Chain A
Amino acid sequence: GESVGLHLPTLSVQEGDNSIINCAYSNSASDYFIWYKQESGKGPQFIIDIRSNMDKRQGQRVTVLLNKTVKHLSLQIAATQPGDSAVYFCAETRAYNAGNMLTFGGGTRLMVKP
């Protein structure tokens, strides 16, 4: 189902290769970052997060790297599988006392070739 923009940057990788998806954020005051995965016809799904006091965090097959100096976030997926094909969004926020608004990036489409 259509759920994302026509003009998304696309990353095409071979199954089994590693994928790196990049995101530049704008607010230097942001202190919390999340990566979401959105499969066709579904809502965004939380993958991994990182706070600004860290520069690296690892999950299962995924790693997020944060470079606050250049305001850059990356998501690394090891041994990419066909099920990883989706649109990936980064999101940032500066925690509020009365809420937690996220600002989403435009998304990157990951296509995994079998």
Chain B
Amino acid sequence: DAGVIQSPRHEVTEMGQEVTLRCKPISGHNSLFWYRQTMMRGLELLIYFNNNVPIDDSGMPEDRFSAKMPNASFSTLKIQPSEPRDSAVYFCASSPTNTDTQYFGPGTRLTVL
């Protein structure tokens, strides 16, 4: 298996632009998680889905952030409009049914100028 796939790996954009991060979970995994990692705050859970349904989005920082999972093999995290403080590494992770281990993707490094 290729593992969790994220794209792009790096994104540099200007303040005010829309940013879309993409994730393909491991095939057969039923849970998907979006995290943000920064120097100051470490690893933070933003939102997670179970069977494509958002279960807990309490970690989403603001209305500028939104996430979707239209099917079992694809999820997006969108930031609109982006701000410099959104600069971070964003990780997607997936987990199989009935286990608690999460498998992380390589991350997307976002820089907002």
Binding site for B on A (CB under 8 A): 1-6, 32, 34, 36, 42-46, 49, 89, 93, 95, 98-102, 104, 106-107
Task: Report chain A residues within 8 Å CB of B89.
Answer: 1, 3
B12-34 CB contacts (< 8 Å) to partner A: 31, 33
Judge whether A1 and B91 touch: CB under 8 Å: no
Q: List 21 A-B residue pairs with CB atoms under 8 Å apart, sorted by A's residue number.
A: A1-B89, A1-B109, A4-B39, A5-B42, A6-B39, A32-B100, A34-B100, A42-B106, A42-B107, A43-B91, A44-B93, A44-B104, A100-B99, A101-B33, A101-B48, A101-B56, A102-B45, A102-B100, A102-B102, A106-B42, A107-B43
Q: Please name all residues of chain B whose beta carbon is closer than 8 Å to the beta carbon of A6 when the two chains form the complex.
A: 39-40
Contacts of A42 in B (CB 8 A): 106-107
- Are B39 and A2 in contact, with the CB atoms below 8 A? yes
A5 in contact with B40 given A43-B91, A100-B31, A101-B45 (CB within 8 Å): yes
Q: B interface, how many residues as a size bin?
A: 20 to 34
Chain B residues with CB under 8 Å of A43's CB are 4, 91, 93, 104-107
CA distance A87 to B99 in the complex (A): 24
**B residues bordering A, Cβ < 8 Å?**
4, 31, 33, 37-43, 45, 48, 50, 55-56, 89, 91, 93, 95, 99-107, 109
| Residues of A close to B41: CB separation below 8 A | 5
